[in-house]
Chain A
Amino acid sequence: QSVLTQPPSTSGTPGQRVTFSCSGTNYNIGRNFVYWYQQLPGTAPKLLIYRNNQRPSGVPERFSGSKSGTSASLAISGLRSEDEGDYYCATWDGNLSSLVFGGGTKLTVL
């Protein structure tokens, strides 16, 4: 059971916009930055979003993040087949004094 809650799967067609949700509490998302990671099949995770909505250098603008209260979202616009993989949210939990992940959402591009 993950501390952060993510739906297990989602899907979309090429060109579509898809969103991923991540739900937490006032101990974690409610008071700390949220980070998003992309894990393509057979590869290590890669940082997509930091500080809720900032993109590292090299991450396309079609990836965007937001946070409101104890929830956060990741959006991918202009969906591509190469976006297929797993997406994880993460943040610090002050109650656990630990970084925590969501269970991950598997994206299928139809």
Chain B
Amino acid sequence: QLQLQESGPGLVKPSETLSLTCTVSGGSISSSDYFWGWIRQPPGKGLEWIGNMFKSGTAYYNPSLRSRLTISLDTSRNQFSLKLNSVTAADTAFYYCASHKVDYYYSYMDVWGKGTAVTVSS
């Protein structure tokens, strides 16, 4: 049974880089059945898809975040990471990592981590 766990700083200063890691257990991020990605939820608001990556390096990013975003996979540690540059208060949110099951041409989130809160503030 896949399980995912987010980790990283809960507080980031404006203009700096937000970095989070997701550790996967119960499965391999080298699997051909999954992309691996991130979703966030600002306080009191809805879900926003951030992006995902396949083992091949193929990645899909939310167009509104693409210029600041990097998702990467570390197969040796069975982890994947999120880096978001030049953060502002608008990036304050609960961040979730999730496995994205391959479904024909696309993918969908099937297993989610519990999430981690990130606040952008000086």
A interface list, Cβ under 8 A from B: 2, 32-33, 35, 37, 39, 43-47, 50-51, 56, 86, 88, 90, 92, 96-104
B114–A99 touching, CB < 8 Å? no
- The docked-state distance in angstroms from the alpha carbon of A100 to that of B106 is 12
Additional A-B contacts beyond A90-B108, A101-B48 (10; CB < 8 A)? A44-B112, A44-B113, A45-B112, A47-B108, A50-B108, A51-B103, A86-B46, A88-B47, A101-B47, A101-B49
**Interface mask (B68-107 → A, CB under 8 Å = 1, otherwise 0):** 0000000000000000000000000000100001011111
- The docked-state distance in angstroms from the alpha carbon of A88 to that of B112 is 14
Partner of A47, one of B48, B62, B109, B113: B109
B33 is an interface residue with CB less than 8 A from chain A: no
Residues of A within 8 A of B46 (CB): 2, 86, 88, 101-104
- The docked-state distance in angstroms from the alpha carbon of A99 to that of B59 is 12
A45–B47 touching, CB < 8 Å? yes
A46–B63 touching, CB < 8 Å? no
- The docked-state distance in angstroms from the alpha carbon of A100 to that of B39 is 11
Residues of A within 8 A of B48 (CB): 101
A98–B49 touching, CB < 8 Å? yes
